[in-house]
Amino acid sequence: MTGSSSRANANEASLLRVFTIPESDESTLSRIEKQMSEDLNGFLEQQIVAVQKPLSEIEQDFADSCIPEEPMWVSDYSDKILDTLIAHSVHTSSPRFIGHMTSALPYFLLPLSKMMVGLNQNLVKVETSKAFTPMERQVVGMLHNLVYQRDAAFYDQWMHNVDGTVGAFCSGGTVANMTALWAARNARFSAEGDFAGIDQEGIFAALKHYQYDGIAVVTSTRGHYSLSKAADLLGIGRRSFVAVDVDENNRIRVDELARTCRELADNNICILAIMGVAGTTETGNVDPLDEIATIAEQYGAHFHVDAAWGGATLLSSQYRGLMRGIERADSVTIDAHKQLYVPIGAGMVLFKDPQISTAIEHHAKYILREGSKDIGVHTLEGSRPGMAMLVHSCLSIIGRQGYELLIDKSLANARYFAELIRQDEDFELISEPELCLLTYRYVPSHIKRFLEGASEEVRAHINGLLNVLTRMIQKTQREQGKSFVSRTMLTPAAYNGADIVVFRVVLANPLTTPEILRDVLIEQKAIARQQLESLAPIEALVNGG
Amino acid sequence: MTGSSSRANANEASLLRVFTIPESDESTLSRIEKQMSEDLNGFLEQQIVAVQKPLSEIEQDFADSCIPEEPMWVSDYSDKILDTLIAHSVHTSSPRFIGHMTSALPYFLLPLSKMMVGLNQNLVKVETSKAFTPMERQVVGMLHNLVYQRDAAFYDQWMHNVDGTVGAFCSGGTVANMTALWAARNARFSAEGDFAGIDQEGIFAALKHYQYDGIAVVTSTRGHYSLSKAADLLGIGRRSFVAVDVDENNRIRVDELARTCRELADNNICILAIMGVAGTTETGNVDPLDEIATIAEQYGAHFHVDAAWGGATLLSSQYRGLMRGIERADSVTIDAHKQLYVPIGAGMVLFKDPQISTAIEHHAKYILREGSKDIGVHTLEGSRPGMAMLVHSCLSIIGRQGYELLIDKSLANARYFAELIRQDEDFELISEPELCLLTYRYVPSHIKRFLEGASEEVRAHINGLLNVLTRMIQKTQREQGKSFVSRTMLTPAAYNGADIVVFRVVLANPLTTPEILRDVLIEQKAIARQQLESLAPIEALVNGG
C-alpha cells in the first residue's frame, strides 16, 4: 500500500505488494529512515516535541479500539506516527537523559537490527534459527566466561552441549531472575524416593515431602522488585521473600543476613536462595558478594547475583574487583540492554553449573525433542527473536578494551558529578557513586544550616516538605524536556530511617559531557526558585525558627 | 570503528565515533542493508547457502568463549557474519518454507523496525516510553475488541485505565499463557479472612486455607507444551496438568472433559483453569470453545483460550465462526508474530474482565508507583521493547479487510494442498486443514493397498517402518534446502492410537503458490525413492506377504 492517496480498498494485488515491493527511496518512510540513519540524535531532537504534552492528551490519538477496517497507505501511516507517536516519545539516547539505564546506541546497531528483523529467526529451535543457535550459545558463553572465568576445557565441553546450558538468553533481567529462581527451586526440590520432583508435583507436595514449614528467598531491602514478583509467580509467595536491612552504603548487612538465616533455619524454613545485588537499581551499590556466598554455602542455599545493571563492570580491569565473589554465585543475571549498549530486549541468566539447567528442561514431540540443541529446551520463553546477534556485534566491534574505556568513563563521569554536587552548597549528595549511579537532592544552604540545629521533630517535618519540593523539581525538569533525572525514595541511615525523596542519576551515556552535568544542576536550581508553593512553608519554618 | 583495516586499538576518540558517526554509504554494512531493503528475498536466496552445513561444523565458527579483547572494524565484522551467521541461517520468509508458523513480512516493517530500535523506548514505564504506552494499550485494546467485541463505553473506560488492563503485551505466546494462568491462580486464591492471598503466602498456604487437596489445570492432549511449562513455573506441577483425550479431529472430547472435571471435583481438587486450544500447534484444529465455556462455568474454573496461532482467524468474516465461544473465555492468548505477519517477539494475553489484572499487580518505589499508567505494573516481564509499534503499523496499513484477504487466501491454499495430497495415490492426508495447517505422509499406493488387508500386527510393524521413512524424507528435504516442511508424531484415532510420524505444513505465507506446493510433493517422492535403506524392509514385508 505504497502511494500517496489516502485510502485504498483491500485487494489481493495491492496487498501482495507490501510483501514484494520495497518502499521507494522517495517515500515518506524512506525519508524518515534516511534521516535517522544519518543523524539519529538530530532527527530525534527535531521530531520529539520539547514541551511535553500530558499523557491524557496523547491518549486521544490512541483512543479508537477498532482495528481499522480499510487499509492505509504506508506514507500516510508514516506521517501519522511521526506526529502522534515519535513526537511524543522519549529521547532515551540523549546525553541529557541521565535518569534511567537506557543510553545512546552505537550506530552500527541500526542496520544490524534491520537485518535481524529481516532474517526473522526464531531462537526457540534450531530448525528456525540454525547458526543463530550456536551464535547465541557463544554470546551466553562469553558472558559466563566474563563472570566465572572457567578454563577452555569447560567451555569446549559445555558451550554447545545438548545436556545443559551455561545460561539462557531472555528478554530482560526480570525474566532472567525468574529463570534463576525457577532453576534453583526445581533443583532444591528434586525427585527423591516416591516424590517425583517439584516440577511434576508442585510446591504443596514438595514441602510435604521435604517436611519444611515454608520457603524463604532472602535479599536486601534494595533488591529489585522483580525478585518478589518472581516469588509470587513461582508460587512461593511475596511474604516468603525476606528483605534484610542495608548498611549506610545500601549494601546488605551481613550480620543481619546471618541472623535472619539462622532464624529461618531454626524455624524449619527452607532457605531456597539468597539474592545478592551487584548494582542496586536505586543507588548502584554492590552487596558484599563474597561474604554472602559463604553464608549461602553454610545453609545450602542457592546464591544468585542480580548484576543486571552492574555486571558490565567486570569488563573493566580497574573496577572488576568491585564484584569480588560474583564467581561464587550459582547463577548471575546480566542485562545487555543496560551497560552493554544493546537495544531493549536483551537479558541473560548464567549458571555456574550448567547441569542445573536440566531442572527446568522440557520437551515436546514436534520441537525440542530429546537430544536436540534447541535452545527452547531450557528457556522460560518460547519463541524469541535473534537479539543475541546485537550483543554479539557489540562484543566483537567494541571489544573488551572498548567496553573498559566506556565503563571507566562512566564511573569517572559519576565521580565528577558527585564532586560538583558536593561543591555546590545548595545540593546534598545522598549516595556516593560506587558504580556510575548516584542520588542527591536540592537543599538551599540556609535550610541545610537550620536543619543541623533543629529538633528531630522539626527535621522530620522539613524533610517531608523537601520531599514535596524534590518531586516538583524532578517533574518540572522532565516536562521542560531539556534534561531528565529520575527520582526515588530512600531511607538513608544518616537520616534516622526517614523517607527521603532524591534525584537519581545514571551516567552511562558516553556522550554526556561535564557541561551537560553542570547545566542539569543550574536548571534544577532555577526551577526550585520558582516552586514558591513548595518552598514557602519551608521558609516559614526556617524564618519562624 | 568504521574503516577497512583489520584491527584498531581501543581509544576514546575512535570509540565515540561508533556512537556519533553513522556508517558511510559505501561501507560493507550499508551495502548489505541496501540489498536487503531493495530485495530481501533475493538477498537471502543469494546469501543463505543452498546445501546445509551440519550444526557441528557451524559451531566451529562460534567456539571461542572469550569476549574479543580488541575492537574490530564494522566492515570486517559485517563480512564475517555474512559468511558465518547469515549464510547459515534459515530463510523463514521463503514461500517454500512451509513447515513453521513464521512467514514473509511486509516490507514496511524493515524501516519501522529500525525506527523502533533507534527510539529504544522501554515500555515498562511511561517515563521511558511516553506515547508508546497509550499506543501499546491501544493495540492490546484492538485485539481485545476483535475477540470480545465489547461496546465503545467499555473501551473508553478501560483501554487507558490505571486500575486494570484489558491485556498485556509480551514477547510471545508462552509468556502470554503463563501470564493468564498466573492471573487465574492469584484471582482464584485471593485474600480471605486471615489468608493474605496466594501472591503473598504462596501455594502451600493457599491450599491449606482453601482446604483443597490439589490443583488441576485441564486441557487436551494437543495443548501446547508451554501450558505444562507454565504449570511447572507457577508451582502447580506438571502432574496437575490434566490432559484430556481428543476426538478424531484433534478436538478435546467434551464428554471426557466433563467426566474428568467431575472426578477432580469429587476428589476435592481445585479445577483452576480449563485451557481451550484455538488452532493446535500440530494439527491446527479448534476445540469446541462454547461447550468448554459451559463446563468451566459449572466448576467456577478460569477458561483460557490459547489462540496464539489461530486467533487471527477472527479477522475473516467467512471463518470467524470457527472460533465460536472464544468470547466467553476469561483470557485469550494471541501471537502477532504468527498470522498477523509481525516479526518474532510479539504476543498478547487478553483479559475479558480487566480487573483480573489486579491479581498480578506489583509496584516499586522508583517506578511503577501506585496510580501510574506504567504498563510494567501488570506484566510478567520488566523492561520490554516497543514491538507493539510493529503490530500497530500492520493493523493500520493492512487493515481488517487486508487481513481477511490474507487469512482467506491461507485457508484456500491449505484446502488446495489437501486436495493435491488426496489426489496423489502415494500420499495420505492425516489431518484435514480446519485452518491453514495440515498433516500427511508418504505411503506408496501398493503399500497402502497391502496395509488394508494386513493384520493388526503387520500394520503396526509397517507403520513403524513408515515412521522411519517419513523422518528421513523430512530431514533430507530440509538439508537439500529447496523447501521445508516440519514433522511431528500423532496418534490418530483412525490408526487405533498408533504413533504416526507425519509431515506438518503451515500455509500462512501469502507468496506460496500452487506451483510451489506441487513441487514439494514431487521432491518428497523423489527423495523417498532414494531412501532404499528405509524402503527395503517395507518392500520385503509387502512382497513377502
Distance between B544 CA and the closest CA of chain A, angstroms? 33
Inter-chain touch B239–A404, beta carbons under 8 Å? no
Identity of residue A383: S
Q: Are A483 and A97 in contact (CB under 8 A)?
A: yes
Give the residue ranges of DSSP H helices in A191-253: 198-210, 225-233
Inter-chain touch B138–A406, beta carbons under 8 Å? no
Inter-chain touch B238–A399, beta carbons under 8 Å? no
Which residue in the block uniquely carries the three cell numbers 530500535? B117
Using CA atoms of B107, B110, B111, B112 in order, give the dihedral in degrees to the nearest 10: 100
Distance between B433 CA and the closest CA of chain A, angstroms? 18
Inter-chain touch B172–A488, beta carbons under 8 Å? no
Q: Are B537 and B463 in contact (CB under 8 A)?
A: no
CA angle (A411, A389, A95) in 5-degree steps: 35
Would you call B54 exposed, middle or buried from its count of C-beta atoms within 10 A (0-12, 13-18, 19+)?
exposed
Distance between B451 CA and the closest CA of chain A, angstroms? 26
What's residue B8's pLDDT? 46
Which residues of chain A lie closer than 8 angstroms to B368, CB-CB?
A: 225
Strand partners, B349: B168, B333
Q: Where are the domains of chain A?
A: 12-89, 121-386, 400-544
Inter-chain touch B120–A343, beta carbons under 8 Å? yes
Residue of B97, B158, B201, B397 for testing the chain A interface, max A β-carbons within 10 Å: B397
Task: Please give the backbone phi and psi of residue B348, each rounded to the nearest 5 degrees, phi first.
Answer: -145, 145
Residue of A203, A390, A391 for testing the chain B interface, max B β-carbons within 10 Å: A203
Domain A400-544 falls in which CATH fold? Aspartate Aminotransferase, domain 1 (3.90.1150)
A215: closest CA among A199, A229, A201, A203?
Answer: A203
Quick one: DSSP state of residue A37? H
Query: Nearest by CB to A510, which of B19, B118, B399?
Result: B19
User: Chain B: residue nearest A141 by CA?
Assistant: B65
Inter-chain touch B131–A85, beta carbons under 8 Å? yes
Distance between A454 CA and the closest CA of chain B, angstroms? 28
Inter-chain touch A366–B281, beta carbons under 8 Å? yes
Which residues of chain B lie closer than 8 angstroms to A58, CB-CB?
A: 130-131, 134
User: Chain A: residue nearest B47 by CA?
Assistant: A119
Which residues of chain B lie closer than 8 angstroms to A501, CB-CB?
A: none
B487: closest CA among B231, B220, B283, B273?
Answer: B283
C-alpha cell at B455: 493384520
Inter-chain touch B239–A202, beta carbons under 8 Å? yes
Which residues of chain B lie closer than 8 angstroms to A413, CB-CB?
A: none
Task: Please give the backbone phi and psi of residue A401, each rounded to the nearest 5 degrees, phi first.
Answer: -65, -40
Which residues of chain A lie closer than 8 angstroms to B487, CB-CB?
A: 366
Which residues of chain A lie closer than 8 angstroms to B478, CB-CB?
A: 127
Instruction: Kindly report, residue by residue over A432-476, the tens digit of the pLDDT.
Output: 999 999 999 999 999 999 999 899 999 999 999 999 999 999 999
Quick one: DSSP state of residue B344? S
Q: Say how far apart CA A234 and CA A219 lie, in whole Å.
A: 16
Distance between B208 CA and the closest CA of chain A, angstroms? 9
User: Chain B: residue nearest A42 by CA?
Assistant: B20
pLDDT by 10s per residue, chain B, length 545: 444 344 445 688 888 999 999 989 999 999 999 999 999 999 999 999 877 789 999 999 999 999 999 999 999 999 999 999 999 999 999 999 999 998 899 999 999 999 999 999 999 999 899 999 999 999 999 999 999 999 999 999 999 998 999 999 999 999 999 999 999 999 999 999 999 999 999 999 999 999 999 999 999 998 888 999 999 999 999 999 999 999 999 999 999 999 999 999 999 999 999 999 999 999 999 999 999 999 999 999 999 999 999 999 999 999 999 999 999 999 999 999 999 999 999 999 999 999 999 999 987 665 666 678 898 999 999 999 999 999 999 999 999 999 999 999 999 999 999 999 999 999 999 999 999 999 999 999 999 999 998 999 999 999 999 999 999 999 999 988 889 999 999 998 888 889 999 999 999 999 999 999 999 999 999 999 998 888 888 888 888 75
ipTM of the prediction: 0.95
Residue of A233, A280, A282, A400 for testing the chain B interface, max B β-carbons within 10 Å: A233
What's residue B7's pLDDT? 44
- Show Cβ contacts of residue A295 under 8 Å, excluding neighbours closer than 6 positions: A254, A257, A258, A261, A274, A301
Identity of residue B263: E
**Whole-prediction pTM value?**
0.95
CA angle (A46, A52, A58) in 5-degree steps: 100
Residues present in chain B in total: 545
Distance between A521 CA and the closest CA of chain B, angstroms? 20
Q: Are B118 and B374 in contact (CB under 8 A)?
A: no
What's residue A10's pLDDT? 62
Distance between B226 CA and the closest CA of chain A, angstroms? 7
Is B412-544 CATH 3.90.1150.10?
Answer: yes
What's residue B6's pLDDT? 41
Residue of B84, B90, B201 for testing the chain A interface, max A β-carbons within 10 Å: B90
Residue by residue, DSSP assigns B348-409 as: EEEESSGGGGGGG----SSSS-TT---GGGG-SSSS---THHHHHHHHHHHHHHHHHHHHHH
Which residues of chain A lie closer than 8 angstroms to B114, CB-CB?
A: 33, 36-37, 110-111, 113-114
Inter-chain touch A335–B383, beta carbons under 8 Å? yes
User: Chain B: residue nearest A10 by CA?
Assistant: B402
What's residue B541's pLDDT? 87
Distance between A464 CA and the closest CA of chain B, angstroms? 16
Question: A102 by DSSP, 3-state: which?
Answer: coil
Query: Nearest by CB to A362, which of B23, B62, B225?
Result: B225
Residue of B41, B117, B135, B333 for testing the chain A interface, max A β-carbons within 10 Å: B117
Identity of residue A534: S
Beta-carbon count within 10 A of B30 CB = 19
Inter-chain touch B172–A39, beta carbons under 8 Å? no
Query: Nearest by CB to B114, which of A36, A44, A80?
Result: A36
Strand partners, B331: B304, B351
Distance between B299 CA and the closest CA of chain A, angstroms? 22
Inter-chain touch B225–A156, beta carbons under 8 Å? no
Inter-chain touch B142–A196, beta carbons under 8 Å? no
E strand or H helix at A505: strand A500-506
C-alpha cell at A319: 573496577
Quick one: DSSP state of residue B12? H
Q: Are B308 and B286 in contact (CB under 8 A)?
A: no
E strand or H helix at A214: strand A214-220
Domain A121-386 falls in which CATH fold? Aspartate Aminotransferase; domain 2 (3.40.640)
C-alpha cell at A537: 512553608
Residue of B75, B107, B471 for testing the chain A interface, max A β-carbons within 10 Å: B107
User: Chain A: residue nearest B201 by CA?
Assistant: A237
Residues of chain A with pLDDT under 50: 1-8
C-alpha cell at B316: 475473516
